[in-house]
Amino acid sequence: MVQWVYAFGGGAADGDASMKNLLGGKGANLAEMSSLGLPVPPGFTITTEACVHYYSNGQKYPDALAGEVAAGLLKVESIVGKTFGDPENPLLVSVRSGARASMPGMMDTVLNLGLNDQTVEGLAKLSGDRRFAFDSYRRFITMYSNVVLGLSHDDFEEVLDDHKDRLGVTVDTDLTAEDWEKVVAEYKTVVQRELGVPFPQDPQLQLWGAVSAVFASWMNDRAKFYRRMHDIPESWGTAVSVQSMVFGNMGETSATGVAFTRNPSTGDARLYGEFLINAQGEDVVAGIRTPQSLTKVGREEMGETAPSMEEAMPTVFAEFVDVVGRLETHYRDMQDIEFTVERGRLWMLQTRNGKRTAKSALKVAVDLAAEGVITQEEAISRVEPAALDQLLHPTLDPKAPRTVVATGLPASPGAATGKIVFDADEAERMSQLGDAVILVREETSPEDIHGMHAARGIVTARGGMTSHAAVVARGMGRPCVCGINALSIDEHAGTFTANGRTFKAGEIITIDGSKGEVLDGAVAMIEPELTGDFQTLMAWADKVRRLKVRANAETPLDAKTARGFGAEGIGLCRTEHMFFDEERIAAVREMILADDEAGRRTALAKIAPFQKADFVELFTIMAGLPVTVRLLDPPLHEFIPHTDEDIDALAAGSGLDAAKLKRRAKELHETNPMLGHRGCRLGVAYPEIYEMQVRAVIEAAIAVKQASGTAPIPEIMHPLVAMGLEMKYLRELTDRTAKAVFEEAGDTVEYLVGTMIELPRAALRAGDLAEYAEFFSFGTNDLTQTTFGISRDDSGRFLQAYMDKGIFETDPFVRLDQDGVGDLIRIARERGSAVRPDMKMGICGEHGGDPASIAFCEEVGLSYVSCSPYRVPIARLAAAQAALVSRGGEAREKDR
């Protein structure tokens, strides 16, 4: 029989931390903390399976769920000695989401549930604090109306702001019990006015409304966007945790806060976080009030005057330090913790592995390994490969002049320059047009997630180091400056003012998230230095990985960058990119316009010295390493203009015959050029083109060998081969040309001849190709196109609809389709290896830098992956993680 509800609290729990898939991260860790004997308010978790059932059955709950929830409530009531819905002694609960993967702020929460016009009076009597009771009631009405009833949060903020203005106060804590009673009355009037019905008074209806709202929030736009961004499957669903309320807003001996056991920006091994006295949790993360530091050292470093928790609540703080230390030791990782202090008593509301920057992730992993808490192999697995991208891009030049406009909190490190935007939708729109933007907001909310992702950096006037903006920015790797008190934003006018200066939307600013500064204009950047923890972890990764990592590069700059990042050769050098250089494009066009082979060879002779010089540079940089040179691939029409106007302009500037250019453009026109006269078909139709390129490769290799004493390892790759006889023809052309160069030079170099597997037929008949090819490189960009019959250039028009409808889980051009395209790769590997057991195989499409696709390459036993230079470190780490997973699988097989 399926169990839909799991209880926790009172020192025991039905679940534990290993049940994250069923209970979600929050529910599993609440159960674990309860079993550890930590102070956790009792509650119960409705499983992720209930959510999956809900969506699979027309948004209907399982039949047994209501009974199990009732039993769960009874258990909580017995532990706390209160009754849900009792006017005299009411139990109040929070209702929170919790998927198996952390999605901070993306789904919904309701606090103080169970309050109504009767229970608020009971709460006032029990607590002896009428102000606290009505403060909690107004919070509940606001949150429930927004999350469950669909009303705007602004409707209630306007009421509250009007009250504050009339009273001449600025902070919520200045309002009295009588003030809050009036606010509550007006809030209920807002609900009646907007919905035509009173605010719901039945606690049971409130509870089920909140549970439904949390399930519904799994499918809201921001949650779907976040899942796409972090590759979280929709099929997982979310759990719902219902937990007895504890109150941080019961006066000066109560508080609430968020803590990290280590600094999530830098990884420093010391307590980091914020708290607020006389507040509830949303006050801290939403930036409603500026929080205070947890520690005295933190307060002094931030230049704050308000006392830290260490100073204001020394006894509770000491208990808290002990608890968080136990949690980090138990989980063996940096923890992100939410807590409440209710009248001097500490309660733990959540723990999870903390979101962190790449720099922090590296330091925490390396430090924990050095401390003996985890092994080096575990450290390798602790760092998200894609997060390394944060470290691989330029930072602000410390020597560059800078004009500081405003200073706030250094909420997320890094630097960015861009145009000012004040709206998340506008940030996304401008980013899609190619503009770099900085999103400037009063404060961010989960609805801004798409704009935050599109922006290069984020600035907020309100909020602290654990606010929504700070946490999400760190998780995304975006620099962020929060809590700029001097920042005044006028969204209607499209301006912000800081320290007497006004900036308009569209003007350029730079932010330094590491210092918490907003700077005027663009500031010079410098290339990053990858040392210390990065080099340590990468050295560990290189020891365990099996897959080699190469780079896609055809320019000296790309090649040097790739070597600096640890590339072990070039896996794809696209020779056509070299043809577009201004010095040689004229000769290329002369070749295209030639009427016969002799004319083409005359033009190719002009191009050959450039090609050889290009290869000499690349081979010198990659001395002793393999360099895969793909011979000319695109159709010839790409090298000449297409419109009459452009052709006339080219003819006028170059002396070429305009009429002949137009005639040749018409002759070369193809209805479907991707499947037309391109790739090796050019080499078969015009063998002199490939002969020139092969000659340039071999001559360059010999020149480098003779100059340096170290021979390069050229791998000559013929693109778009489909048949064994094509490969035979091209292999003979290559060997014949190489032999001629060897005889002329009186010297030789070793070289390989292979092909790019880009067509389903090539994969299916890989054995035929392997008779003549010495290596396969899977061109997964084109192989995906030809397998699906989808043009990558046009797929943006409909792929999103496919993902929204669950037909595609991810974009197949970003993440390798392991079922279809993957099967073709498996077949090609098996059939190619059967003919040539020592055959080298790799991939060189965009998938070569995608961690999930790299894991597939490890699984099927490819030799290497090749990716863009800046993704080389990502691929190195992903390859190491894939090797560790593979070894774990092998170990489990042996244990059986």
Q: Cite the active site residues.
A: 468, 844
Quick count: other Cβ atoms within 10 Å of Cβ 602? Answer: 14
What three-state secondary structure class fits 550?
strand
Radius of gyration of the chain (CA): 32
Q: For 702-832, where are the E strands, in sequence order?
A: 713-718, 752-757, 775-778
Distance CA 301, CA 309 (A): 15
Cα–Cα distance for residue pair 587/594, rounded to 1 Å: 10
Residue-by-residue DSSP string for 303-329: T--SPPHHHHSHHHHHHHHHHHHHHHH
Long-range contacts of 15-23 (CB under 8 A, 24+ apart): 15/45, 17/331, 20/100, 21/48, 21/100, 21/236, 22/47, 22/48, 22/49, 22/239, 23/47, 23/48, 23/98, 23/239
Start-to-end C-alpha separation, the chain:
29
For residue 536, CA distances in Å to 356, 362, 539, 623 come to: 19, 9, 5, 25
Pairing of strands 525-526, 395-396: antiparallel
**Of the candidates 336, 364, 331, which has an alpha carbon nearest to the alpha carbon of residue 349?**
336
- Listed in sequence order, the DSSP H helices in 420-532 are 424-432, 449-454, 468-476
CA pair distance 854, 324, nearest whole angstrom: 36
Write the DSSP symbol of residue 199.
P
The residue type at 636 = L
Residues 734, 631: contact at Cβ < 8 Å?
no
- Dihedral sign of CA atoms 794, 798, 803, 806 in order: negative
Backbone region of residue 402 per phi and psi (left: phi > 0; alpha: psi in -120 to 50; beta: other values): beta
CA atoms within 13 A on the CB side of 214: 27
Closest CA relative to residue 862, chosen from 825, 896, 815, 808: 825
Task: Confirm if 510 and 415 have CB atoms less than 8 A apart.
Answer: yes
The Cβ of residue 329 has, within 10 Å, a number of other Cβ atoms equal to: 11
* Range 65-93 burial, b when 16+ CB lie within 10 A, else e: beebbeebbebbbebbebbbbeeeebbbb
Q: How many CB atoms lie within 10 A of CB 750?
A: 10
Task: Give me the residue label for tokens 């297409």.
Answer: 642
Question: How many whole angstroms separate alpha carbon 759 and alpha carbon 778?
Answer: 9
**DSSP letter assigned to residue 399:** T
How far is residue 880's CA from residue 861's CA, in Å, rounded to a whole number?
Answer: 14
Q: Which helix (H) or strand (E) holds 626?
A: strand 626-630
What is the length of the chain? Answer: 896
